Amino acid sequence: MRFYEYEAKDLFRRHGLPLGKSQTIDRPEEARSAFAALGGGPVVLKSQVLSGGRMKAGAVRFADDAAAAEAAATAIFPIRVNGQECRSILVEEKTKVAKEYFVAITWDGRAKRPVCVFSDMGGIDIEEVALTHPDHVSKTHFSTIVPLMPHVAKQAVAATGVTGSDLNKLAPIVFELMKIFLAYDLTLAEINPLAKLADGRFVVLDGHIDMEAEARGQHKKLLTELGIGDDETRQARPPTAFELAGARVNAADHRGVAGNVVEFDGNLGLVIGAGGGSLTLFDAVRKHGGKPANYCEIGGNPSMSKAKELTKLILSKPGVEKIAVMMNVVSNTRVDIVARGVIKGCLEAGKDPAETIAIFRIPGAWEEEGFKILKKYGVDFCDRSVSMHDAAGRAVAKLRR
């Protein structure tokens, strides 16, 4: 779950990291007073979006006087950056930067530990720097159970050749970021650039924070203080009404999963599962030239009502002609319960299951019972002898006719 820049900086400020003076504004008119409050010097105005590419989109602008600040804010507010609307604008004093550094803490799934990536060549694409100047990028893993010690941060900085007073000023900032990363169950804590100013001070110019969605419950206090609501998914793009309705279907009943609904604009509704099976089946539908109306995941032995409600939701989407109900060979999901659910969903949506369900391919426990019900309603189904790929093909072919 991504934080906006102003939220990340709010968190940094609470931990004493050095930040420039700034104000968040919600309307262009506020730019003038923000300009004055920041001392009347040159400012930078930055759109608050959950996406990179702000500069390219024109959503970061500079201003030397109050009128220019308001003009910049007026220009920034309507700009969407990679589909993300501007939530607010962060107005910050413009600083004279002498040198830029990069520091990020993230998880390394291979080492199964957090890793601190530090570079004395900040401000630009770190993956590029790692390729062209590997000696200017350090990667330092640290323990999650041994108490975190400052020397770990010192090593990370010193490994890129930084020494003298710069080392002694940078290391505590990196150390604090490591502590923040662990304290709030973050999946990313990044400062880029971390700037050394002309007067020798260090300042956080931009920051990224990603908190693990699963850990939100443990950090309610912080999230409330930052103003982050429980319903904010904070994905790469905001959820659609259809996706939010999918989340409600899943939340309404704790038995099993019928969720992760993602909207697409095709005509074939998908009731598919589980985690890996959904990825496989979505690929298969596209490979056959099919146009999915949605992505979703069912699994974990969902209740009949959950399968039913998901089916109804998908069928309610404009443009959906048929649905395909498919899973990998299931271990703990009951085939008969899903069959009953999707049939009932069709009926309640006023549709004929035989016409609406293009294919039902869920092999596994209680499949005989499931197949019996499907037969009764004339629904086309298949067992494991038909591959996931071919089952998807059968569904797509029916829409072409």
Binding site for other proteins (CB under 8 A): 107-110, 112-114, 127, 143-145, 182, 185, 187, 212, 214-215, 218, 235-237, 260, 262, 273-280, 282-284, 286-287, 295, 297, 299, 327-332, 363-365, 384-385, 387-390
Name the residue nearer to other proteins (CB basis): 159 or 386: 386
Name the residue nearer to other proteins (CB basis): 88 or 187: 187
**Left (φ > 0), alpha (ψ -120 to 50) or beta: where does 325 sit?**
beta
HSE of 217, CA atoms in CB hemisphere, 13 A: 1
Q: How far is the CB of 187 from other proteins (least distance, A)?
A: 7
Name the residue nearer to other proteins (CB basis): 28 or 363: 363
CA distance 273 to 327: 5
DSSP element (H, E) containing 181: helix 164-183
Name the residue nearer to other proteins (CB basis): 312 or 334: 334
Q: How far is the CB of 392 from other proteins (least distance, A)?
A: 10
Q: How far is the CB of 97 from other proteins (least distance, A)?
A: 26
3-state secondary structure (DSSP) of residue 242: helix
Name the residue nearer to other proteins (CB basis): 20 or 277: 277
Helices (H), ranges, 271-366: 275-287, 304-316, 335-348, 353-356
Q: How far is the CB of 111 from other proteins (least distance, A)?
A: 9
Q: How far is the CB of 385 from other proteins (least distance, A)?
A: 7
CB proximity list for 201: less than 8 A, separation 6 or greater: 18
Q: How far is the CB of 174 from other proteins (least distance, A)?
A: 19
CA distance 93 to 19: 10
Name the residue nearer to other proteins (CB basis): 110 or 401: 110
CB proximity list for 183: less than 8 A, separation 6 or greater: none
Which residue in the block uniquely carries the two structure tokens 């930052």?
A: 226
To 10 degrees, the CA torsion angle through 293, 299, 302, 306? -10
Of 316, 295, 309, the residue nearest 338 (C-alpha): 309
